[in-house]
Amino acid sequence: MIYTLTLNPAIDASAHISVPFARGGLNRINRIRRDPGGKGINVSKTLRNLGEPTCACFLSGGSAGRVLYDMLVEADIQCVCAEIGTGNTRTNLKITDSEGYTTEINEEGPAFDFQASAAIRKRLLEMATPQDVVVISGKIPPSAPTDIYRTIIREISHRGIRVILDASGEALENGLRSIPFAVKPNAAEVGISEDVESAVKVCSRILTVGTSIAMVSLGEKGAVYCDRSGVRMFAEGMKVDVKCTTGCGDAMTAGLAYGIANNLSPEDTVKIACACGTAAALTDGTQAPSAGSIAGFEDKIRIIRI
Ligand SMILES: Nc1ncnc2c1ncn2[C@@H]1O[C@H](COP(=O)(O)OP(=O)(O)OP(=O)(O)O)[C@@H](O)[C@H]1O
Ligand SMILES: [Mg+2]
């Protein structure tokens, strides 16, 4: 089982308008779709499509949180939530206009609730076994302690459960100090430009501290994978007709988790992770790629040993 933990989930609303976006004016939506969102939940969406058992654990806020729960149940994604005392789960609105411009209006999300956070972590620890993998990803909620991931990773790893961290900024830095089993930041999140040499250096530095697998994604250029056994690979990015790159990293993290949970070889893990990321570039918004689309890319990923 691959558990995902999302402390600040969202409902992603993707709207289309048939005229140019009117700043300061009335914009009439001609179609809109709502998807469960938030990085951990996106990871569970891709895993669900891969047929991999997954459970999305999240903090739920008010009526919007209940809607999110229902959306996940409808999408056939197993989930567990803890209700926060006050506030609503956020909605992130993306408006794409007739000229192809997308305007994003994102809520920050409700204030952090310590009790609910403790409750969801307790549930997670009751359910997960050392064979399982836990993916922790996304921004931490406003007002949460910046070392919250560090605390959570420590308590999960203590039980012998492997943690994959996909985060940025202070949450990533702090999380790394608790030595997650694997990490999947993008280039900007580790402060480098999208080049292989810098990515290898960063991966080596991360592995020195004790993490077993470091994968740094480089957008359309591909990704670098290094592990503690000395395997180093560069997977070239593929030229595809990109629809939307939001969520590519989440899909890649899902593929990485899939490889780890199923004890795939490093090469097969990289292949499926990159296939998931590539396939996600072909979907709208944060919709997860289909198993068929992922399988179609898997054997086409070119891997260079470095
Ligand atoms: N424009 C693109 N063309 C082809 N493949 C892409 C493109 N963008 C991303 N990918 C694939 O997806 C993987 C992850 O992308 P990226 O590095 O953008 O993740 P990220 O910045 O973490 O994304 P996210 O918005 O989900 O956090 C890449 O390594 C690559 O395999
Ligand atoms: Mg990312």
**Segment 96-105, tens digit of pLDDT:** 999 989 899 9
From the CA of 298, which ligand is nearest?
A: 1
Nearest to 276 by CA among 258, 302, 264: 258
Confidence of residue 134 (pLDDT cuts 50, 70, 90): very high
Mutating to test ligand 1, I would choose from 248, 253, 276, 298 the residue with most ligand atoms within 8 A of its C-beta, which is 248
Confidence of residue 112 (pLDDT cuts 50, 70, 90): very high
From the CA of 286, which ligand is nearest?
A: 1
Average pLDDT over the chain reads 96
Atom of ligand 1 nearest to the CA of 286: 26
Q: CATH class for domain 2-18+32-305?
A: alpha beta
The reported pLDDT for the residue numbered 100 is 87
Question: What residue owns the CA closest to ligand 1's atom 24?
Answer: 249
Nearest to 20 by CA among 99, 109, 104, 131: 99
From the CA of 219, which ligand is nearest?
A: 1
- Across 238-242, average pLDDT: 96
252 lines ligand 1 (CB under 6 A): yes
Confidence of residue 210 (pLDDT cuts 50, 70, 90): very high
Atom of ligand 1 nearest to the CA of 166: 22
Instruction: Confirm if 126 and 55 have CB atoms less than 8 A apart.
Output: no
236 lines ligand 1 (CB under 6 A): no
Question: What residue owns the CA closest to ligand 1's atom 16?
Answer: 219
The reported pLDDT for the residue numbered 131 is 96
pLDDT for 235 beyond 90: yes
Confidence of residue 35 (pLDDT cuts 50, 70, 90): very high
Question: What residue owns the CA closest to ligand 1's atom 6?
Answer: 220
- Across 211-234, average pLDDT: 98
116 lines ligand 1 (CB under 6 A): no
Ligand 2 centroid vs 113 CA: distance in angstroms?
Answer: 24
In angstroms, the CA 173 to CA 71 distance is: 33
The reported pLDDT for the residue numbered 52 is 98
**Segment 146-203, tens digit of pLDDT:** 999 999 999 999 999 999 999 988 889 999 999 999 999 999 999 999 999 999 999 9
Question: What residue owns the CA closest to ligand 1's atom 13?
Answer: 277
The reported pLDDT for the residue numbered 155 is 96
224 lines ligand 1 (CB under 6 A): no
Burial letters 6-45, b for 16+ CB under 10 A, else e:
bbbbbbbbbbbbeeeeeeeeeeeeeeeebbbbbbbbbbbb
Beta bridge partners, 134, equal 3, 163
The reported pLDDT for the residue numbered 286 is 86
The reported pLDDT for the residue numbered 285 is 81
Ligand 2 centroid vs 249 CA: distance in angstroms?
Answer: 4
238 lines ligand 1 (CB under 6 A): yes
Interhelix angle for 266-280 vs 39-50, to 10°?
110
Confidence of residue 284 (pLDDT cuts 50, 70, 90): confident
The reported pLDDT for the residue numbered 244 is 87
Instruction: Tell me phi and psi for residue 34, to 5 degrees.
Output: -120, 130
Amino acid at 274: C
Sign of CA dihedral 110, 115, 116, 118: positive
Confidence of residue 214 (pLDDT cuts 50, 70, 90): very high
- How much of the chain, in percent, has pLDDT values that exceed 70? 100
Confidence of residue 142 (pLDDT cuts 50, 70, 90): confident
- Across 205-227, average pLDDT: 97
188 lines ligand 1 (CB under 6 A): no
